[in-house]
Structure 1
């Protein structure tokens, strides 16, 4: 029934998109002559700036297939509506950006439109990239144009009907996309504004750290309030450090340490965030990381979670979990859940442990926890997988015990929840 309802809604959006498009021509439009001269794009300082910005935006992660040439595309990006392969953004004339002008690039980044005016699918995070400044976009384009061209045709997407009808995106954009560059807040510090620009725009943190509805749009104004990453089955936590936030109690240094090394006194980056640290944030300037931390610390407190009345008697479940924890976990994470500083992350107050769904802790117990290898932490300790040693009941019990011990007051994880993630790949 849910799938039928989604298709009905999508058909309504397509009809709306068709209606809005009626009378418009869709003939390909040749790119206009660029107002940016070739000498400007070859400026070494501009190219160096663009290289840093492309790294800060983590562009290579999406635009590089495993084992493929950097920025040559081909990585398949999964969505609930089908898979979309990323395009080649090297300056190859036939398959990349070789024939693109800067104006074409700006239109894609800022307006979410392709070279011929077609709407781009929002798996490309233009809902955030629209905030990137014109000057920064020019630097990024100069850098991409300086790369060696790679001939790599873009694969066809596997979007299912009706989502494959691109005209429906006009209705989607009307609901979820607000075009416009980042606007500085004169009442805030320079560090806050820089951090807001990086988090809201170039770093596109909200693309993962916000809840999404059935059409893939971000729900309401829940900025950086945490959300399950579609298809990948990880939960990106709420990023508020204030009361009831996902990072409640985190200091500025805790945030900087996690982004720089993949590990802090309060937790460790796993799953998709580990890749972000490896590919992007560990290479960022310290003042930019500190600016991001300043901005995140300004996020508001969150409403206290309303505990739902449970008819479950969890005493047996918690007793079983305590037994498993004592046998399998306490030697590293401690009987008090505090871990060992710089080696084993604490479990008490851990944002990945306390997130609403229990997905992260369940997956780490099953498949292991592998912190990223970074310049600041070149030999991280990893947690072994327990999928072969523990059955579903044991995993549910120990995760529930961890989520309800010490300072933790998260919900129960049921055995049926564990079954869903036992065979899910770690990446």
Structure 2
């Protein structure tokens, strides 16, 4: 019981840290977008965490963790429609649910992960998506797509059987959100003024880079819970090495993005530095418990370079991602997942093929699912705000308020 208590306390601390990450996402997205859309960004992020937890309690948790993928998913799913169903022994909660923590801690920790996938999409579609359409998409994606994909590995499904490995979600969380972000950005189109008629890309600066910087540092802190909690116990050795590899990959990712972008563009770009840190964090997440410190540094260094190249590639395809979510979560999520087969304790050709197969299967499924959901919404309700509303700002038109009202221009009398 003492070991269970220690493990459970550690898991609850990690749950709180992952919850804190939603503040980081909010500040990052607000800082990298324009002042006139700040309320809209914050509203979406608050909606995601509240709705995500409710949906995960009603549907997602039971869908993601069936007794077995084939035999268990249908009955567990329909049972779960009416609420969480903890294991009960002699009329009380079974504290021997597993070796590390209680049923309720398990649910809450996993629920925080679920909300993260939709937050990734929020940043990519910022400043031009209809709020109602975004909310409908988030509900459907979180209720069905995210937990179903998670069940294939973490729920003991076919990807788990074939040897696919994703420790804390480079693919199962970050790429699941990244694929949806890519499809959403494609269907939405770019913000007004982002691309010229000749195809040239015009920077649309964020209004508060200090907020974005604070957001990244909060996310880095939250990753102690994201990866550290994924150990699923307070095991000293495994938890310690996981936190070390997480931090080293983040630092290496930031430095390589900063150095490579400086070499390429001849300026010290803070936003590239920040996204490099996030790229390193996403990259190490699939194998943080399997890597040596040097492996983690290499994974982070590659992730930082990929960030710079991916941001440029997204622009060349005339896709508008205001916060770099596709580069960070999709590209580095894929890289980190494949890296499990190249570095660390599981490295080997067979493992690499399992990783590649998992990335491909999940990528196809998530892309098709996101396209069907978003296209249906676009054809019925519409996805994008009217040009006048986009120009004047979503805060005024969708929320009737200003994030910085005291700094506004006083009305003439």
TM-score > 0.5 by shorter chain: no
TM-score, normalisation: structure 2: 0.27
Greater fraction helix: 2
TM-score, normalisation: structure 1: 0.27
Q: Which has the higher contact order (CA 8 A, sep 6+)?
A: 2
Larger Rg: 1
Greater fraction strand: 1
